[in-house]
């Protein structure tokens, strides 16, 4: 039985070392890994020592700066947990969509632009046509009070209009 000294590719190296190909690829990302011998491949004996010294780091659970003193998950477990959290978030979002908690973006944009246009029209009508004759001869402070009151009335009217059309209130500061 001849003992193989070099592995020509990563798949063979993983098979010979008895580890998962993904684990080997993670080990390859490290800067302290054994180098490729040009024209021959990777020295198996060197990689066996490297895996023996470093594989425990990949699989171990460590207590690192955790306030609760709980063991942190290894990289594989963290990835699994993250996938499960994303799947749960996706299911929660799908359920919220089915329960009509979200409206389509186009519909929302159309409503916003409609009500913004209404606000601009009301402001234009008030400040260009209705108020100027009333403001003649007033002091600046009185003008500011009248215009402020008119602006508050416009905001309140638009808010009531919004509330009556889509059943939701508008937060007015």
Query: What is residue 19's three-state secondary structure?
Result: coil
Q: What is the DSSP letter of 49?
A: H
**What does the pLDDT read at residue 104?**
77
pLDDT at 63 over 60: no
What is the reported pLDDT for 169?
Answer: 47
C-alpha–C-alpha distance, residues 42 and 79, integer Å: 29
Q: Kindly report, residue by residue over 153-167, the tens digit of the pLDDT.
A: 888 888 787 777 655
Is the pTM higher than 0.75? The answer reads: no
68-82 pLDDT tens trace: 555 566 788 888 999
Query: Smallest Cα–Cα separation from 57: which of 21, 26, 36?
Result: 26
Q: How far apart are CA 90 and CA 20, in angstroms?
A: 30
Q: Is the pLDDT of residue 61 over 50?
A: no
Does residue 2 register a pLDDT over 50? no
Strand, coil or helix: what is 27?
A: helix
Q: How far apart are CA 77 and CA 75, in angstroms?
A: 6
How is 90-146 classified by DSSP, letter by letter?
Answer: HHHHHHHHHTT-S--HHHHHHHHHHHHHHHHHHHHIIIIIIHHHHHTT--HHHHHHH
N-to-C CA span, the chain: 84
């Amino acid at each position: 039985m001849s003992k193989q000294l070099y592995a020509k590719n990563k798949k063979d190296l993983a098979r010979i070392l008895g580890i998962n190909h993904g684990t080997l690829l993670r080990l390859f990302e490290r800067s302290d890994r054994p180098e490729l011998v040009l024209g021959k491949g990777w020295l198996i004996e060197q990689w066996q020592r490297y895996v023996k010294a470093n594989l425990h780091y990949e699989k171990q659970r460590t207590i690192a700066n955790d306030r609760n003193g709980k063991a942190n998950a290894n990289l594989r477990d963290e990835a699994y947990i993250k996938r499960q959290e994303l799947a749960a978030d996706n299911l929660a979002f799908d359920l919220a969509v089915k329960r009509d908690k979200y409206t389509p973006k186009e519909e929302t944009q159309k409503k916003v632009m409609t009500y913004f246009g209404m606000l601009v029209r009301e402001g234009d009508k008030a400040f260009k046509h209705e108020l100027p004759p009333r403001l003649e001869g007033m002091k600046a402070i009185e003008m500011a009070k009248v215009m402020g009151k008119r602006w508050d009335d416009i905001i309140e009217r638009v808010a009531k209009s919004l509330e009556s059309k889509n059943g939701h209130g508008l937060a007015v500061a």
